[in-house]
Amino acid sequence: MKKSFKSLVLPSLALLIILLTGASMVIADPNLTAECGGSSCHSTISLTISSNATGTVDASLGEPFNLIIDAGGYTRSDQAFYVNIEPSWADNNQFSFTTTSIQDNATGDLNSNLNEISISVDFTPTSIGAYTIRIWTAGKNDVAGSLDVAVSVTVNDVAPPVIDSPVDKIVSEGDSSANITWNPSDAYPDRYEIFDNMTSWLSGSWDGSAIVVGLDTLSLGSHNITLAVYDIVDNMASDQVDVTVIDDTPPIITPLENQEVEEGALVWLTWTVTDLHPDSYEIWRNDVSIDSGVWDGSDISTPLSSVGLGFYNYTLYVSDASSNSVTSQVNVTIVDGTAPLVDSPPDITYLEGQTGYSIVWTPTDTHPSSYEILRNGTVILEGDWNSTGESVSVNVDGLAKNTYNFTFIAFDVGGNFVTDEVFVSVFSAVIPYVNHPDDLHISEGTLGTEIIWSPIDLNPLSYEIYRDEVLIRSGSWNTSGEVMVLLVEGYALGDYNFTIFVIDTDTNNATDTVWVTVYDGTLPTINSPIDITYDEGQIGFEISWTPSDLHPQFYTIYRNTIELQSGPWNSSSEIITIQVGSLSYGDYNYTISVLDVGGNLVSDEVEVFVLDGTPPVLDSPADIQYEQLTTGNGITWNPSDINPISYSIIRNGTVVNSGGWIGSSIFILVDWLIPGSYNFTIIVTDIDGNSASDTVMVIVTPSATSTETSTTSTTTSVTTPSPTQPDDSIFDDVAIAPFALIVGTWVGLILVVVIVSEVLARKGKW
């Protein structure tokens, strides 16, 4: 028994392994087509695949088109048969479409037959050019097939660019700030070209931004500057600006330093003068012209003749071809060449109120002349310097606390002079002096901000620095005027006070406080979600913003400028979402504004377009047949749509009624028609141009009363109504249909009475 069971198990396992191996070799993978680049790709091209494209598909940028793809040639009838479209194949990535993998007789297969697949795919071009869309079909046993569809994508652009017209200009030659700025616009910008007096000057690609051309290279004269802008289909717009380039820039003279020349020496004065259009020059000495001539743009020189000690004024006058002129003056002094000498007394320091301090200078020179003493730049004493070695003194007692600069100047007869400075510092013995740096307002995160104090005292000792009354630093105050620097950085938002306390050896002290405000000076950032388009009635659409800031505070969302939602913005990583589905037909602008604690605000806008993608629903009233002259016959349609707009009723190809449709029923009276067959067709249209139509046949048969009356030969004064058709405007106007029905009923009754009376009279019964 056991032996028999074992003998059955081993063959069964072998058979199972063979079946599994065979199955793995023939199962079709929809991705294994010849595009995959591997050794296991389907490579037996035996399947058929075609589309509804009869040649190159002409498409417009951004406008979708549809391809119907049919695949066949598969024979296994096991549904292991696919049609695939991937973005990475051929030029498929130049189109927006849904990546497709459709199995035979599965969702998306429009053909219910086995071994045949039909699919419908919408493609939207995303760029202009000639492209190839590639589709593959594949099945078991490595069978495959492919289809290339050629597509030519253009843009439907008939509008030329729009261009502004800057004013004409008068500019200075070489002015680097002179330019023309055009602001052309177009949905599809391509390139531009600029002409100077009809000659191409500049050109380049144009991305829709402003075009700026500098005028500093233009030559003197009149220039017709014309800009031509082109879009991608060569629609062109142009504008001309007349530019007059003038020379209003005078020549430039490099000024000479005033000259001191020793008596008997011979030197030259040489000026460097520049101008684009040189013309002439003239040189004056002490208001007398000494040289003139044509100037060719080179340097201009004149010799200096020594005429003894004295002062000479040399003036150069130059003019260019446009009569722009400039002058430059240099003073030449002939001197004896030897300056006086003077000693240098030491600087003086004393306490306020002390006396007995003076400065004494002893200058020397072969030809002394005069002296001046200045205090802080102002002359306080002057006089004759009579002989070499003569001493000059000034009393410096009685000065208030401060530092003073006493300057002594000694002159000789040749104009040579010598100076010496002595500093006098007067200090107070009361309290130290501490300067007051400005209070600071710094943006959070700013580095390198400093507070600098320089306290002054004759006997400094130590200092302490506090932040918000907490000691943060202390040390020795070594010298009067010592600079104490405090680095202020890395602080969070808030207000801080920094106070320095200084004390001298006599326990005199002083303080100063600087307030530092750290504020949020950084704008929040926010992403910009794409605009949304959907059909009216759809749900599930939302906008999600992810703003970011170190100190978020509040947000507000507006729809069409009306506040819709607001609340606290709690964290930098918070996602703010608003539902925008189920809106009525129309265009909506959703704007979010986010505000941080520093009052910095940033906004983003998203447009939502709700379309009417559903045609009206229209019932189909039954056809009508009635006998001529009977009344009360009419057709009532009951169309419906969310956004109704208009209707039109056509009888036998002719419009007999039309108007606005507000969604209610539409009625037309069809009485008073002559015998015959009539086709009444209604067309209702909604706001997006979707329409629906219905046709009702109206058959009018001859009236028996009319027939009998027409066969009687006796003449009567009673006139029966003519069976001719009334004017359409009487019975077709929906607005007066109820009135027409009432009038028609009464007229019909009267006619019946008249006809019966006539018949009875003819038979002698009346």
Summarize pLDDT for 384-408 with one digit per residue, the tens.
998 888 899 999 999 987 899 999 9
252-335: CATH number: 2.60.40.10
Task: Answer yes or no: same fold for 26-154 and 532-611.
Answer: yes
pLDDT range class, residue 453, cuts 50, 70, 90: very high
- The more confident residue out of 657 and 762 is 657
Q: Please spell the DSSP secondary structure of 465-480, one letter per residue.
A: EEETTEEEEEEE--ST
Of the candidate ranges 7-16, 125-134, 544-553, 659-668, the one whose mean pLDDT is the lowest: 7-16
What pLDDT was estimated at residue 627? 94
Inter-residue contact 613 to 641 (CB < 8 Å):
no
CB 413 within 8 A of CB 386: no
Question: Among 485-489, 505-509, 614-618, 747-751, whose mean pLDDT is lowest?
Answer: 747-751
Query: What are the residues whose beta carbons fall under 8 Å from the beta carbon of 32, sequence distance 6 or more?
Result: 38, 40, 41, 42, 138
Per-residue confidence (pLDDT) for residue 761, from 0 to 100? 41
For the entire predicted model, the pTM comes to 0.35
Residues 6+ apart with CB under 8 A from 36: none
Query: Exposure string (b/e) for 136-145, b if CB count within 10 Å is 16 or more?
Result: bbbbbebbbb
d(CA 71, CA 431): 102
Please report, for residues 382, 435, 483, 514, the alpha-carbon distance to residue 486 in angstroms, rounded to integers and kept in the order given.
47, 14, 10, 11
What's domain 26-154's superfamily in CATH?
Answer: Immunoglobulins (2.60.40.10)
Among 100, 314, 276, residue whose Cα is nearest residue 174 = 276
Q: Give the tens place of pLDDT for each residue, 164-218.
A: 999 999 999 989 999 999 999 998 899 999 999 999 999 999 999 999 999 999 9
End-to-end CA distance of the chain: 121
More reliable by pLDDT, 626 or 744:
626
290-296: Cβ within 8 A, 24+ apart: 295/319
Structure tokens at 115: 């071994």
Residue 283 has pLDDT above 50, yes or no: yes
- Give domain 440-519's CATH architecture: Sandwich (2.60)
Which DSSP letter does residue 598 get? T
The CA distance from 70 to 84, in Å, is 12
The CATH superfamily assigned to 350-427 is: Immunoglobulins (2.60.40.10)
The predicted structure's pLDDT at residue 429: 66
Report how far apart, in Å, the C-alpha atoms of 642 and of each of 318, 484, 617, 648, 710 are. 86, 79, 10, 18, 53
Residue 33 is predicted with a pLDDT of 53
Range 169-246: architecture per CATH: Sandwich (2.60)
In this predicted structure, what is the pLDDT of residue 337? 75
Q: Measured between alpha carbons, how far is 548 from 569 in angstroms, rounded to an integer?
A: 10
Tell me the pLDDT tens digit for each residue of 207-223. 999 999 999 999 999 99
624-759, which class in CATH? Answer: mainly beta
For all residues of the chain together, what is the average pLDDT?
Answer: 85
pLDDT tens digits, 312-321: 899 999 999 8
Q: Are 280 and 294 in contact (CB under 8 A)?
A: yes
Structure tokens at 235: 């629609």
* Per-residue model confidence (pLDDT) at position 355: 92
CA angle 598, 601, 605 (to 5 degrees): 160
The residue-averaged pLDDT of 522-539 equals 93
Distance CA 546, CA 528 (A): 9
- CA within 13 Å, CB half, 177: 0
Percent pLDDT > 90 in the chain is 67
List pLDDT tens digits, range 739-764: 343 334 444 454 444 443 443 444 34
Instruction: Tell me the pLDDT band of 233, cut-offs 50, 70 and 90.
Output: confident
Q: What is the pLDDT of residue 265?
A: 74
Domain boundaries, the chain: 26-154, 169-246, 252-335, 350-427, 440-519, 532-611, 624-759
pLDDT at 197: 95
Element (H, E) at 312: strand 310-320
Q: Is 532-611 in CATH node 3.40.50.300?
A: no
In DSSP terms, 227 is beta-bridged to 194, 239
Instruction: Report the C-alpha gap between 184 and 158 in whole angstroms.
Output: 16
3-state class (DSSP) for residue 38 = coil
**Cβ 339 vs Cβ 418: under 8 Å:** yes
